[in-house]
Amino acid sequence: MGSGNFDHILKSNVSELIAQQCKSTPDKTAVISNGESHSYAAVDRRISEICNAISARGAAPGDLIGICVGRSFDMVAAVIAIIRCGCAFVPLDPEFPVARLRHMLEDSDLDLVLADERGAAILGPEKPAILELGAISGDEQYSAAPAVAQNDLAYIIYTSGSTGKPKGVCVEHSNLTNFLFGMAVQNLVRPGETLLAVTTLSFDIAGLELFLPLVMGGAIVIASDEETYDGERLKEFIEQYSVDVMQATPSTWRLLIEAGWRGRNRFRALCGGEKMPEDVAGTLAEGCDEVWNLYGPTETTIWSMCYRVMPGDASIPIGKPIANTDIYILDKAGRETPVGIPGEIYIGGAGVARGYLNNIELTSERFILDPVKGGEARIYRTGDMGRQLPNGNFEYRGRIDDQVKIRGYRVELGDIESAISRHRAVNQSVCKIEEISASDQRIVAFCRVVDGENLNTEDLRDFLTSVLPGFMIPQHFVPVDAFPLTPNGKIDRRALPDFELENIGGGEFVPPDTTEERAVLDAAKSIFDLDEISASANFFEMGGHSLLAMRLLSLLRASICENLTIRAIFEASDFRDLAAQTVAINNAHSQDREELVI
């Protein structure tokens, strides 16, 4: 399909494009959430209701409006309503600690936040004002939509910052519409297709899931927060709703694969957020019609390059630039490197964002004038190393700094280290990523402890839970007397000791007492690859994370509790508690069946 078919995307904004689709196909299904289908007409009505409520609160075009909502139909409508009012949305993930959300609120100086009941409770009565979506109703059409300029802000996404405070990336409407245009031209989402949405709103790649299908007259299936960690449930969704396309990180694709999913006819798998493992690429390429590897930082608007993965590919490049995007590989002097020679990846073109909110110094450091094109054009310095291959594709070759990817999330290790060092027992910390296996990457924190203090990992983990998102909390803490240094006196991360997977079985050994406890421990020993685990051990203190939790869930569903949920694993205090929860769940479902028979 030629680019001319989608030129109208570049001439409008996402709200107008979706409004046009609502008028064109009012009765067609647009959003499926919590088992309910919502037509384009219903989407348009809900957007109007929310727009009227926003206007009644005195919001003006150009204002920043927060959104703290769980994954739902209202999440989709609220984001579009904010844009239709001429405002920019700021995602506030309800899964984030309150302290981190408070920093984002203060940095963005929000006066208004759209929230569901849970989000309102998390943010509390302090400034800013909360507009609860559950209290909004009415049938009056919103007709006061202001004109939106291409250089107006569409959204601000906060990403991890090396100073310990997240930084807001300001994305304009021209950046967003060019991205949607580029994806449409590449046929990554086609007219009328159904997409399964699994990405949190605080991760910028959610923009593809929430906007592009509606712009193209398709449908979005919204997986709930808990369902996004459940490979079995995602597999069911794909079949139940005849899903055509899904975008996910390699970690989520691995969840599906480990749940037994091997692809589907006429299915397109979009993969990005972290380096694509060859085993995941191979499995998807064998079972799906199309598999795409996607690359791009938040600062250049979601994805900037793409590559179609083919069965048998020996390596997986990050591809070629999307429409209206320039890719440069520059050396330390800012000169283009020859083909095949590594350098730093710089990205230019229509996707380059405005910069960082309230941070002129960092903006000028990372967003620089284009040394190739000259003039006022800007390029973004990614911090990624790469090279161009003879066939024109680009290859990713790691980072030049301490930024890492954790299950798709971009994380500055300095952000974690700063949080750990604020604990009363820690003088200084240094973190590294330990790759236990291709599907099991863990954060290990080496901590220099304050004299006279003991490193209580349970207390430290509780402290970090109050200031960091779950995916940023280290799985292991290792006390050290000193850190290795380079000749110029800097910490030598490469010389940090290797982490040994030993003595993590739960301290003093407590044997299992029941059949359920033995089953839980057998499953835990399998995923941690250990000979013995104490029944008193805690899953997360042993190094567990969301991916390992999903593997544990699959094993326990198959062995002792087919109705077990991922939440039960997250909330269990130890393996004995988890075993007791399986008994309670089985008893509850047995009683339900007996009542049905009666």
DSSP state string for 177-231: HHHHHHHHHTTSS-TT-EEEE---TTSTTHHHHHHHHHHTT-EEEE--TTGGG-H
Residue 598 has pLDDT above 70, yes or no: no
| Spatial CB neighbours of 359, under 8 Å, sequence gap ≥ 6 | 167
Q: Where are the domains of the chain?
A: 403-495, 515-597
Q: Taking the CA of residue 346 as centre, how many other CA atoms within 13 Å lie in the half-sphere pointing to its CB?
A: 25
In percent, the amount of the chain with pLDDT more than 90 equals 66
Is it the case that residue 438 has pLDDT exceeding 80?
no
Contacts of 20 (CB under 8 A, 6+ apart): 12
Task: Give the CA dihedral 469, 471, 473, 476, nearest 10 degrees.
Answer: 170
Looking at every residue in the chain, the average pLDDT score rounds to 90
- What is the average pLDDT across 487-513? 75
Q: What per-residue confidence (pLDDT) applies to 120?
A: 94
Instruction: Classify domain 515-597 at the CATH class level.
Output: mainly alpha
Nearest to 219 by CA among 50, 25, 74, 85: 25
Binned at pLDDT 50, 70 and 90, residue 471 comes out as: confident
pLDDT of residue 595: 56
Residue 214 or residue 479, greater confidence: 214
Could you tell me if 515 and 561 are in contact, meaning their C-beta atoms sit under 8 angstroms apart?
Answer: no
Contacts 24+ apart (CB under 8 A), 106-109: 107/158, 107/165, 107/168, 107/357, 107/358, 108/64, 108/66, 108/156, 108/168, 108/357, 109/64
Tell me the pTM: 0.85
In tens, the pLDDT along 19-44 reads: 999 999 999 999 999 999 999 999 99
What is the average per-residue pLDDT within 271-295?
94
pLDDT in tens, 151-186: 999 999 999 887 778 999 999 999 999 999 999 999
Tens-digit pLDDT profile for residues 191-209? 999 999 999 999 999 999 9
Helix extents (H) in 264-398: 278-287, 360-366
403-495: CATH architecture: 2-Layer Sandwich (3.30)
